[in-house]
Amino acid sequence: MQKICVIGLGYIGLPTAAIFARAGVSVVGVDVNKQVVERLNKGEIIIEEVGLPEVVKEVVESGKLRASMEPEEADAFIISVPTPIHEDCTANVEYVRSATKAIVPYLKKGNVVIVESTIPPRTMDDVVAPIIEEAGLNPKEDVALAHCPERVLPGRILIELVENTRIVGGLTPEATAKAADVYRQIVTGDVIETEAVTAEMSKLMENTFRDVNIALANELAKISARLGVDAHKVIELANKHPRVNIHQPGPGVGGHCLAVDPYFIVEKAPEEARLIQLSRDINNSMPDFVIEQIIKLTAELKEPKIALFGLTYKGNIDDVRESPAIEIVEKVLANPRYDVRVHDPHVREEQVPFPLLSFEEAVKGANLVVVLADHNEFKAIDQQALLAQMETPVVFDTKNCTNLKQEEGLTVYRIGDVIGLQAIAVKPINS
């Protein structure tokens, strides 16, 4: 492969372009954002990812990677653009459509076209192939059309792009083989060949598996809060079984993958995808469950002072996309009864529409601290600082991440604990 054109220079497209360039391929990266293109041509990037600035600088200086607003002729095209969801939870494949249209004028017989964006099943057949056909090329004979989903974890992208197993699914076995060979230039893990729709579905099912399992853990937390069972102990003990892996309950599921991808399956098979839809509903209900617990915890106070800790969708990152913590904070802020203080050491003021306070400002005089993200800073919260600063030292740890102990006057609740009401009496059998 002499030359690759990568469309979309985001969290996945840019590292992908850089890694191909590092392997000696001539790469042109295309983006609609002028700033991204201009900065990249100077060897600079605007996203944060471990190790990426160094690799980009090296390949831009060596001339192997350059950026442009327009696609160019190449041997292979890799489309790596976002697929957001519409208000009604259906997939918006408009960027995939426009990226495909943008490369069509530069396509020649024998080229490889790969879509890496996460897409609903059958998108390669029903959306991408027809665009190529309209342009006068046979999508099964003239070009090699394939889907190769990205599966990397932010923070480890440069490692996982190389080491993870890749799944490549083409419209024909020949297309699959050609697309797989593109990845074999950079991937040390397995490159597995399959059909397009299988590749589309396997990516979606990876994230759906996790979402459904988190829903099960969240349901256990709700059941435990009713029955007076220790959900976390139950998970710990059940997971001693070699084939059981109950996930962790929490304030909900966020981010741009788990909270979105299951809907791409529901959209295509709503009557069958019942467990998947229900799991989304259960996970989406968790912010309200947290709010109910906050109401119970503060029911007896006149003007409760509540400190909310953590806004990101998971710990030790600065990403607040689809974060359940944001929903919780906004609902608590909307209640005029509360004096609310918000603190997150990983988030900057301009990312959120409300003021942020330091740890000290947030806990001073507080009646309740609610932990909503498992940042390392929260795992290490100092018990004595809370006891000294809070008016009534009560903590609701929705991520079960702190090391705080139920002692010396501190009360600690976790998600799934009975709060407020007594556990209902469970009737013994035969009584």
- Which residues of 42-100 form beta strands (DSSP E)? 65-68, 76-79
Minimal distance, residue 417 CB to ligand SAJ, in Å: 17
Our finding on whether 257 is near ligand SAJ (CB under 6 A) is: yes
Our finding on whether 80 is near ligand SAJ (CB under 6 A) is: no
* Radius of gyration of the chain from its Cα atoms, rounded to whole angstroms: 25
| Piece of the chain touching ligand SAJ by CB under 6 A; list 59-67, 202-210, 237-245, 340-348 | 202-210
Our finding on whether 310 is near ligand SAJ (CB under 6 A) is: no
Residue 71 is encoded by which pair of tokens?
């696609």
For residue 368, give the H/E element and its range: strand 368-371
Residue with tokens 């109910």: 292
Phi, psi of 75 (to 5 degrees): -80, -35
Q: Which residue among the candidates 5, 64, 148, 257 is catalytic per the annotation?
A: 257
Most distant pair of Cα atoms in the chain: their distance: 80
- Number of amino acids touching ligand SAJ (CB under 6 A): 17
Minimal distance, residue 314 CB to ligand SAJ, in Å: 4
Separation of alpha carbons 268 and 351, rounded Å = 34
Q: Specify burial of residue 144 (Cβ count, 10 A radius: 0-12, 13-18, 19+).
A: buried
Q: Which one among 8, 13, 121, 255 touches ligand SAJ, defined by CB under 6 A?
A: 255
Separation of alpha carbons 346 and 204, rounded Å = 29
Half-sphere exposure of 86 (CA within 13 A, CB side): 9
- CA-based nearest residue to 209, from 269, 255, 166, 261: 261
Residue nearest to ligand SAJ (CB): 257
Q: Considering beta carbons, is residue 264 or 338 the nearer one to ligand SAJ?
A: 264
Q: Considering beta carbons, is residue 7 or 221 the nearer one to ligand SAJ?
A: 221
Q: Which one among 232, 247, 346, 414 touches ligand SAJ, defined by CB under 6 A?
A: 247
Q: Which one among 139, 169, 250, 304 touches ligand SAJ, defined by CB under 6 A?
A: 250
Helices (H), 104-150: 123, 129-134
Our finding on whether 102 is near ligand SAJ (CB under 6 A) is: no
Minimal distance, residue 398 CB to ligand SAJ, in Å: 10
Minimal distance, residue 81 CB to ligand SAJ, in Å: 13
Q: Considering beta carbons, is residue 164 or 392 the nearer one to ligand SAJ?
A: 164
Q: Which residue among the candidates 64, 178, 203, 268 is catalytic per the annotation?
A: 203
98 SS3 class: helix
Our finding on whether 187 is near ligand SAJ (CB under 6 A) is: no
Q: Which one among 309, 313, 396, 413 touches ligand SAJ, defined by CB under 6 A?
A: 313
Our finding on whether 207 is near ligand SAJ (CB under 6 A) is: yes
Q: Specify burial of residue 276 (Cβ count, 10 A radius: 0-12, 13-18, 19+).
A: buried
Q: Considering beta carbons, is residue 160 or 193 the nearer one to ligand SAJ?
A: 160
Assess whether 203 carries a catalytic annotation: yes
Q: Which one among 4, 258, 329, 340 touches ligand SAJ, defined by CB under 6 A?
A: 258
Our finding on whether 364 is near ligand SAJ (CB under 6 A) is: no
Assess whether 257 carries a catalytic annotation: yes
Q: Are 321 and 351 in contact (CB under 8 A)?
A: no
Q: Which one among 151, 280, 346, 414 touches ligand SAJ, defined by CB under 6 A?
A: 151
Minimal distance, residue 160 CB to ligand SAJ, in Å: 8
Q: Considering beta carbons, is residue 71 or 287 the nearer one to ligand SAJ?
A: 287
- CA-based nearest residue to 7, from 25, 26, 34, 31: 31
For residue 115, give the H/E element and its range: strand 112-115
Minimal distance, residue 213 CB to ligand SAJ, in Å: 7
Give, to the nearest 10 degrees, the angle between helix 52-61 and helix 34-41: 70
Our finding on whether 276 is near ligand SAJ (CB under 6 A) is: no
Residue 179 is encoded by which pair of tokens?
């697309």
Q: Which one among 64, 314, 346, 414 touches ligand SAJ, defined by CB under 6 A?
A: 314
- CA-based nearest residue to 260, from 90, 381, 393, 15: 90
Minimal distance, residue 248 CB to ligand SAJ, in Å: 3
Per-position b or e across 384-397, b if 16+ CB within 10 A of its CB = eebeebbebbbbbb
Q: Could you tell me which residues are beta bridge partners of residue 308?
A: 342, 370
Contacts with ligand SAJ, residue ranges (CB under 6 A): 151-153, 206-207, 210, 214, 247-248, 250, 253-255, 257-258, 313-314
Residues identified as active-site: 203, 257
